[in-house]
Amino acid sequence: MLKDRSILVTGGAGFIGSHLADRLLPENKVTVLDNFSSGRREFLTPYLETPDFELIEADLLDADALEIALKGKDFVFHLAANPDVRLGAEDTRVHLEQNIMATYNVLEAMRKTGVRRIAFTSTSTVYGEAKVVPTPEDFGPLMPISLYGASKLSCEALISSYCHTFKMQSWIFRFANIVGERGTHGVLVDFIRKLHANPKELEILGSGEQRKSYLEVKDCVKAMLHCVEHSNDETNVFNIGSCDSLDVTRIADIVAARMGLSDVKYRYTGGIDGRGWKGDVKVMLLSIEKIKRLGWTPLCGSVEAIEAAVDALLPEVE
């Protein structure tokens, strides 16, 4: 299905978006729209001179630019967002604007230009503190505990209602933590930066006991494309993650070992109930039975994903 198509990737200069562009480009025409708030031009350097590639520097809050970018497209991968969960506790507008309003603008521009299919990157945080772990897609009620999670759940609701009302089709992906090459944020980048600055001591947000699931970014992109190719409901919702989880202290051990450091002293901030920040979900493991039934399984577990990601990030993170 994703062959010889004209595809718009919002946020395509970002961490996951640039890996998605890598996978889509050989067989499709790809337009990336990005405002470079966290994305980097260098992630797309190999394609800048490629005839099947176009880069539009624009903001999703600019509805006219979006409409121009969408004209003639067959499919939208909508990844652009503010992914910083912590920010919501300090700035209550950022996720409203960058996630909800931005997604509304994408959907409106699709409606006006007749583009019918959208894939959207949602998150495990829509589940809040789920009582069922591993958490399946039909768990409810969905009660996010961060403004970021709330904004992504709102986006999901907008997307499914646009699909029904305007005969569109969507794929909604609820990601676990995605790690790997070109990562610019998250626990691994944080630990590597801190250990570069001080190899003797590492500040760990929360109690270190928060347990989450991690998936390697290329595997994540494969899973997204697999779902688009193999599911065909009006709105298709899939968890994407690995089969297991690990805690933050174990991640610190792996990062320190991969950096060749020993006897690093860990300093835990403790936080609220051991959380790293307000809105930090302490235990996250997604059920991936639904996507497995479709024929995709993760290539490795969380530990291997973290190890590979640290090795890829060490030459990149200063």
Q: Which residues bind ligand NAD (CB under 6 A)?
A: 11, 13-17, 34-39, 59-61, 79-83, 98, 102, 121, 123, 175, 177-178, 184
Q: Min. distance of Cβ 210 from ligand NAD in angstroms? A: 14
> Nearest distance from residue 263's CB to ligand NAD, in Å?
30
CB atoms within 10 A of CB 268: 17
Of 60 and 264, which CB lies nearer to ligand NAD in the complex structure? Answer: 60
Helix (H, G, I), strand (E, B) or coil at 165: helix
Q: Which residue spans within the chain are E strands per DSSP?
A: 6-10, 29-34, 53-57, 75-78, 117-123, 169-175, 177-179, 201-204, 211-212, 214-216, 235-240, 246-247, 265-268, 283-284
Element (DSSP H or E) covering residue 312 = helix 302-313
Cβ-based nearer residue to ligand NAD, 95 or 264: 95
Residues counted in the chain: 318
Identify which of residues 17 and 128 has a Cβ nearer to ligand NAD in the complex: 17
Q: Which strand ranges, in their side-by-side order, compose the sheet holding 29-34?
A: 53-57, 29-34, 6-10, 75-78, 117-123, 169-175, 235-240
* Angle at the Cα of 225 from the Cα atoms of 132 and 10, rounded to 5 degrees: 95
Residue (13 or 310) nearer to ligand NAD, CB: 13
Report how far residue 120's alpha carbon sits from residue 172's, in angstroms, rounded to the nearest whole number: 5
Contacts with 253 (C-beta within 8 Å, 6 or more apart), sequence order: none
Residue whose CB is less far from ligand NAD, 149 or 264:
149
Q: Which is nearer to ligand NAD, 16 or 147 (CB)?
A: 16
Minimal distance, residue 99 CB to ligand NAD, in Å: 7
Given a contact cutoff of 8 angstroms between Cβ atoms, the answer to whether 144 and 122 are in contact is no
Beta partners for 51?
Answer: none
Minimum CB separation of residue 18 from ligand NAD in Å reads 8
Nearer to ligand NAD, 87 or 256 (CB): 87
Distance CA 249, CA 72 (A): 49
**Smaller CB separation from ligand NAD, 11 or 88:** 11
Q: Which is nearer to ligand NAD, 41 or 164 (CB)?
A: 41
Q: Where are the alpha helices (DSSP H) in 71-216?
A: 94-95, 102-113, 147-166, 187-197
**CA 120, 125, 130, 134 torsion: positive or negative?**
positive
Closest CA relative to residue 202, chosen from 210, 214, 194, 190: 194
User: Cβ of residue 48: shortest distance to ligand NAD, in angstroms?
Assistant: 15
